[in-house]
Structure 1
Amino acid sequence: MLPVQTNRLLIYPCRLPLLTEIYLRHPHAADKLSATLPDNWPQQELREMLPHFIELLQHDPRSFPWLMWIIVNKEMKMVIGEVGFKGRPDENGVIEIGYSLLPQYQRNGYMKEAATALVQWAFGQPEVKKLVAESHLSNIGSIKVLTALGMKATGIDGEMQYWELINRRTNLPGSVAQT
């Protein structure tokens, strides 16, 4: 089952020991992934989130695999980014996706490929009924990924646009599953 594989990518969910090693920049992290960790990964935003992810997994082990997944390019054996969720599905079966790709790997379809695979995995979990996301209005690349996933824009608040995708395998109360 894990890692999730695509034609070009391996996508690994992060357990607590791996997250800790990434945070500490320990060489075992690269060994566990059988991949090189670029000097510019993790990027600033993720570096700031790692302590939160570590604490969350320490206090709620059921948060695995609902946090960070690492994207590895199979051919290069290189970490190129991350994709994941902002926590376990809530009581209504809603999860929020987030992702980031190193600049040198953008515009090659990697994030569309990784996000599609992870959404397929998530929608295969019985508790997941809906996927949501947010994107900055100026982030055209992210908007393209969300659109490619089949997500529908649900609103705008300031500079942020909000998105959702209903899991076709389930029905939410008061919602119609997409066909």
Structure 2
Amino acid sequence: MMDVQSSRLSLVPLTASLIRLFFYDRGEMAKILVAQVPEDWPGPDFEPVLPLLLDGFEREPDHEAWDGAIVLEGDERVLIGAMGLKGGPDEEGTVDLGYNILPAYQNQGYATEMARALVAWAFERGDVHKVIADCLPDNQGSIRVLEKLGMKREPPEDDMLRWSLTKEEWQLAQH
């Protein structure tokens, strides 16, 4: 099971039961998480992904969670975004990093902090050899996050910028 934490944040795995609570009983979701669930969580970019994740769990009930809700720890725990590796590694061991942070919590280093922790967790598993990410060319916040992770810009795909980081590049940068 995914257990990813940083100094200020925790990534709570988005399981089928937690996703169902988001749709049907946000109050119960908040109780289970022992965290505030802001009205704008998970945000317009990630909300359409939740039904897809739920469908995946319904097709494969034992599927491991590779996506999570970002909880800001402290006296008042609060959901501030979501991050994940889009279903886990493909046959080459590549995962696709995706994330969002609610506007009230942007520009405070949370995306970079959680992305570092999630990438470290992924590379420690042994079945992940490369992390990729896509972002729009005008998304300066995401570009900064990906650069801080040490990701390298690849040739664009469609209208998106493509980024990549191998396990070896990550390990070299950590020493």
Partners of 1:161 and 1:54 in 2: how far apart? 28
Deviation at 1:26, TM superposition (A): 3.1
The residue number in structure 2 matching 1:112 is 112
Amino acid at match of 2:104: Q
The residue number in structure 1 matching 2:72 is 73
Runs of 4+ more than 3 Å apart: 176-179
Percent pairwise identity:
36
Q: Deviations over 1:75-104 (max 9, x none)?
A: 231100011011121110010000000001
Amino acid at match of 1:74: E
Q: Could you list the runs of 5+ residues in structure 1 that have no partner in the other structure?
A: 169-175
The residue number in structure 2 matching 1:137 is 137
Partners of 1:62 and 1:20 in 2: how far apart? 16
Instruction: Please identify, of 7-16 and 93-102, the stretch whose mean Cα deviation from structure 2 is larger.
Output: 7-16
Match of 2:45, SS state, is helix
1:121-136 mapped onto 2 (5 Å cutoff): 121-136=121-136
Which gives a bigger RCO, structure 1 or 2 (Cα 8 Å, sep 6+)? Answer: 2
Deviation at 1:7, TM superposition (A): 1.1
Name the TM-score, length of structure 1 as normaliser. 0.88
Are the counterparts in 2 of residues 3 and 12 from structure 1 also a CA contact under 8 Å?
yes
Partners of 2:140 and 2:71 in 1: how far apart? 23
| Pair 140,63 (structure 1): closer, same or farther in 2 beyond 3 Å | farther
1:93 lines up with 2:93 in the alignment: yes
Q: Could you list the runs of 5+ residues in structure 2 that have no partner in the other structure?
A: none
CA RMSD of aligned residues (A): 1.8
Instruction: Please identify, of 15-24 and 138-147, the stretch whose mean Cα deviation from structure 2 is larger.
Output: 15-24
The residue number in structure 2 matching 1:64 is 64
The residue number in structure 1 matching 2:162 is 162
Deviation at 1:3, TM superposition (A): 3.8
Name the TM-score, length of structure 2 as normaliser. 0.90
* Number of equivalent positions: 171
| Pair 144,51 (structure 1): closer, same or farther in 2 beyond 3 Å | same
Amino acid at match of 1:131: V
Deviation at 1:144, TM superposition (A): 0.6
Q: Deviations over 1:56-76 (max 9, x none)?
A: 01112354222x211111123
Are the counterparts in 2 of residues 63 and 88 from structure 1 also a CA contact under 8 Å?
no
Are the counterparts in 1 of residues 35 and 71 from structure 2 also a CA contact under 8 Å?
yes
